[in-house]
Chains A and B, each alone.
Chain A
Amino acid sequence: MTRILCIKILFLFLFAAIIIRLFYWQVVRADFLESQADSQHFTNTKIDASRGNILFSDGSILASSNPVFSLYGLPKIIKQDQKIKIAYLLAKLFSDDLGEADPLAKDLIKRLSQDLYWVLLKKDISVEQKKQIEDLNLDGIGFEQGTSRFYPEGSSSAHFLGFVNSDGKGNFGLEGAYDGELKGVPGLIRNEQDARGLPILIGNFLTNKAQNGKDLRLYIDRSVQFIVEKSLKAGIEKYGAKAGSVVVMDPKSGGILAMASFPNYDPLKYFDYPRQYYKNPVVADQYEPGSIFKVLVMAAALNEDLVKSDTKCDICSGPVSVGGFEIRTWDNKYRLETTMKEVIIHSDNTGMVFTARKLGLDKFYTYLQNFGFGGQTNVDLQDESSPEIRSKKDWREIDLATASFGQGIAVTPIQMVSAVSAVASGGNLMEPHIIKDIKDEKGSFEIKPKIVRQVIKDSTAQQIKEMMVAAVEEGEAKFFKLKGFRVAGKTGTAQIPVAGHYDPTKTIASFVGFAPADNPKFVMLVRFDEPSASIFGAETAAPTFFEIAKQLLLYYNIVPTE
């Protein structure tokens, strides 16, 4: 009896133990075990969204994505005697000459001899190299796919393109400003898998489609960009400049047709260059514009009917004294009763002091703001700077006088070309844009040209245009003018402020203009920093401007009118 009772109690205990264990698994540990079962049953596959392309105005590729692979090895899988063989086979494939192959093979052997399950052997392997390695049928070797940026035109346009870092994040330029649009949204596939890891078609299947990045189509014309880059590079070398920039803009739409600066960097090897190279000088650099600013001050005075083209300057017979300072002309030549047109032709500083006095600080200040200075142009690029105009109450008489010929006031090249573009387009200040439209799988979104405001009357624009044409025909840069074409332009030579004073040997030489003057196809600014061949814009920036203009007129099929 006792034995039967004992067995009964034993069974009762066993039964209770099973119940408790089942309760533990099915209630207490239910969530954990369910998730473990799910992880064995289900597989989550991330679908990478491909980064959008950046296209020239004709749809050809400026930047796209390129598949690359990382080669890895599994040291615990590869047999010891195979490691040396694999290392030498790979080294031979990666190096062009035998001298390089030996140290590379030794490095690979070292990596494969580590006490690790997974080691990286080489990054950025191309599709061709991957195929070659696969043909070798090596054990314990595998690939991981990634993407890198691809630039078919090489490193050109780096400043407005920006770059994509190793984490896939866009920095600077368009890559930085439009990173959200370009990168897209990755997708996910979750499906049930069998014991061999193959998907079960009748099992649960969830999909979240990847949204690829949007494509950006630019106003940049690849032929114009090529001409500009080539001529700018040649100009920098010829005139021994430390740096240089060119920006070409369509005055009717505000679209930027070309933008180049040197020295630049390779967006694929951005890490090999100093950080100061990353910023786009056309939108980020602040400088004193010098005499190219005169056309804007003169336009303001003409627009207010304070002066006319033939108004005579009654203070231009010698140096002008302003607030204890003496204002001289650049060549120290003085013309008695010079007209406003001649002031622009000869780039006369004293004539500009006369104009600024007529205009007065209030109107001068208003026109500065209306031409877009003191604020951002809203160009669609990262890192646009906007030099501040000091408060009106802080302006002294000498500040107004020097600002009238572009000294003591800071601008950016993009501000300057936009302001001159207002003269070319009959007085309308256009918002500069580099992107024409943004395309995705659903369609495209066009960025329409935007008129910011009318700064000057059309009649004023015509008058100042004639002055600029005369400046090209009769001014310091007349030796470089294009035969048969009416080109409007103005030279500029600005001294660079160094430790509270201006260094007379260091200048920023520039030329701004548009062509053809009567129906402008483009507005262009050429700027050289510290040219050593000559300090003057008329002898450095002007020839480069006309060299580019000559090629652009030919490219646009524009025939001479005179």
Chain B
Amino acid sequence: MTIIKKFDTTEPQRGFPKKYIGLIAICLFVLMLVEVWANNNVVTYGEKLERLSALAKTLSLENQVLENQIARQESISNVASKSAELGFSPPESIQYIRQ
């Protein structure tokens, strides 16, 4: 004898549970508050950004000036005149030693 066990099917819930709707609403509200807060904060950063841009420009300009100063100091014409001041002169006669 075959015993067929019968199961009662549960009826699917219709619509979205109310607790989820509430949760989403709260999330959206929080997000809205965060956006308002972020926007309020970020808007005031324009001045800061402008200051940082100006600083970056100044630093890059100073960097270029310093690079050029180094180039001038280590230029061969400058090294030649400085070495002459210190008493160096081109070799007049060169002696080669054979091993």
Interface residues of A (CB under 8 A from B): 50, 60-61, 64-67, 127, 145, 150, 152-154, 156, 193-194, 198-202, 222-223, 226, 484, 551, 554, 559-560
The docked-state distance in angstroms from the alpha carbon of A109 to that of B76 is 43
Instruction: Select from chain A the residue with minimum beta-carbon distance to B80.
Output: A226
Q: Are A198 and B71 in contact (CB under 8 A)?
A: no
Does B75 have its Cβ within 8 Å of any Cβ on chain A? Answer: yes
Q: How far is the CA of A194 from the CA of B47 in the complex (A)?
A: 10
**CB < 8 Å neighbour of A200 from B43, B72, B91:** B43
Decide if A226 touches B76 in the complex (CB within 8 Å). Answer: yes
Is there an interface contact between A60 and B71, defined as CB atoms closer than 8 Å? yes
Q: State whether B62 touches A127 (Cβ < 8 A).
A: yes
Residue of A127, A150, A559 near B61 (CB, 8 A) is A127
B77 touches A66 (CB 8 A): no
Q: Which residues of B64-86 have CB atoms within 8 Å of chain A's CB atoms?
A: 64-65, 67-68, 71-72, 74-78, 80
- B interface residue numbers (CB < 8 A to A): 39, 42-43, 45-47, 49-50, 61-62, 64-65, 67-68, 71-72, 74-78, 80, 90-91, 94, 96
Assess the A560–B96 pair: CB atoms within 8 A.
yes
B71 touches A61 (CB 8 A): yes
Are A201 and B80 in touch, CB under 8 angstroms?
A: no
Across-interface contacts of B62 in A (CB, < 8 A)? 127
6 additional contacts (CB under 8 A) given A50-B64, A201-B45, A559-B96? A61-B67, A64-B64, A127-B62, A201-B49, A202-B39, A554-B91
Residues of B within 8 A of A60 (CB): 71, 74-75
21 example contacts (A-B, Cβ-Cβ < 8 A) are as follows A60-B71, A61-B68, A65-B64, A67-B64, A67-B65, A127-B61, A127-B62, A145-B61, A152-B68, A152-B71, A152-B72, A193-B46, A194-B43, A198-B50, A201-B42, A201-B45, A202-B39, A202-B42, A222-B76, A223-B76, A226-B80
> What residues of chain A lie closer than 8 Å to B65, measured between beta carbons?
66-67, 127
Given contacts A156-B77, A484-B96, whether A199 and B68 have CB atoms under 8 Å apart is no
For residue B38, give the distance in angstroms from its CB to the closest CB of chain A: 8
In the assembled complex, the CB of A54 is this many whole angstroms from the nearest CB of chain B, namely: 12
Instruction: Please name all residues of chain B whose beta carbon is closer than 8 Å to the beta carbon of A223 when the two chains form the complex.
Output: 76
For B68, give its contact among A150, A201, A484 (CB under 8 Å).
Answer: A150
Complex alpha-carbon distance, A153 and B56, angstroms: 29
Give the distance to chain A from B42, nearest Cβ to Cβ, in Å: 5
Which of A64, A198, A551, A559 is close to B47, meaning CB atoms less than 8 Å apart? A198
Q: Smallest CB–CB gap between A303 and chain B, Å?
A: 36
**CB of B28 to closest CB in A, whole Å:** 19
CB distance from A64 to the nearest CB of B (A): 6
Which residues of B lie under 8 Å from residue A64 when comparing CB positions? 64, 67-68, 71
The complex places the Cα of A150 from the Cα of B75 at a distance, in Å, of 12
The minimal Cβ–Cβ distance linking A62 to chain B, given in whole angstroms, is: 9
Hey, which chain B residues are within 8 Å of A222, CB to CB?
76
Verify B77–A201 contact, CB threshold 8 A. Answer: no
For the complex, give the distance between the alpha carbons of A66 and B91 in Å. 36
Q: Are A198 and B46 in contact (CB under 8 A)?
A: yes
Q: How far is the CA of A551 from the CA of B76 in the complex (A)?
A: 15
Contact assessment for B75 and A153 in the assembled complex, using a CB-CB cutoff below 8 Å: yes
CA gap between A551 and B42 in the complex, in Å: 65
Of all chain A residues, the one with the shortest Cβ separation from B45 is A201
Residues from chain A with a CB closer than 8 A to the CB of B50 are 198-199
CA gap between A35 and B61 in the complex, in Å? 34
C-alpha spacing A194/B44, complex, angstroms: 10
Q: In the bound complex, how far is the Cα of B69 from the Cα of A64, in angstroms?
A: 11
The contact of B77 among A65, A127, A153, A198, by CB within 8 Å, is: A153
A551 cross-chain contacts in B, Cβ below 8 A: 90
B81 → chain A closest CB, angstroms: 11
How far is the CB of B70 from the nearest CB of chain A, in Å? 9
How far apart are A47's CB and chain B's nearest CB, in angstroms?
10
Report the bound CA distance from A66 to B68 in whole Å.
Answer: 7
Return the chain B residue nearest A192 by Cβ: B46
What is the bound-complex CA distance between A198 and B43, given in angstroms? 10
> Which residue of chain A has its CB nearest to the CB of B78?
A152
Write the chain A residue with the least CB distance to B76: A226
Tell me if A554 and B94 are in contact (CB < 8 A). yes
In the complex, which of the residues A64, A198, A560 has the most CB atoms of chain B within 10 Å of its own CB atom? A198
